[in-house]
């Protein structure tokens, strides 16, 4: 299982086809702009960093779970690998 971290909408558009159904997705920084649109892929869990959403005035889609930095650290310890897309 992989954790895909996207920090820009462009990175998400370019690399979203690499997401497998067993993977997890986290939107951070400007990547949270992708979290408020309908998501056209399936994976185990989709999250957005709450602080980044709040700073940008973004309300994620209902299917996106908001997490904090502590949750992110925990998440990294649960996955086999972590890919950051910039």
pLDDT band at 40 (very low <50, low <70, confident <90, very high): confident
Percent of the chain with pLDDT over 90: 91
pLDDT at 30: 98
Model confidence at 10, pLDDT cuts 50, 70, 90, reads very high
Going by their DSSP bridges, the two strands 24-27 and 2-6 should be labelled as parallel
Cβ pair 44, 22 in contact under 8 A = yes
Distance CA 75, CA 65 (A): 13
Does the pLDDT of residue 13 top 90, yes or no? Answer: yes
Residue 23 predicted with pLDDT over 90: yes
Q: The pTM is what?
A: 0.95
| Contacts (Cβ under 8 Å, ≥6 apart) of 52 | 27, 28, 29, 30, 31, 32, 58
Q: Is a pLDDT exceeding 90 seen at residue 34?
A: yes
């Amino acid at each position: 299982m992989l954790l895909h971290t996207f920090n820009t909408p462009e990175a998400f558009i370019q690399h979203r086809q690499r997401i497998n159904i067993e993977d997890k997705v986290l939107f951070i920084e400007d990547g949270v702009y992708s979290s408020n649109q309908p998501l056209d892929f399936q994976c185990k869990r989709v999250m957005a960093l709450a602080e980044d959403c709040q700073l940008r005035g973004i309300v994620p889609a209902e299917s996106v779970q908001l997490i904090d930095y502590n949750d992110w650290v925990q998440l990294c310890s649960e996955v086999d690998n972590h890919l950051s897309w910039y």
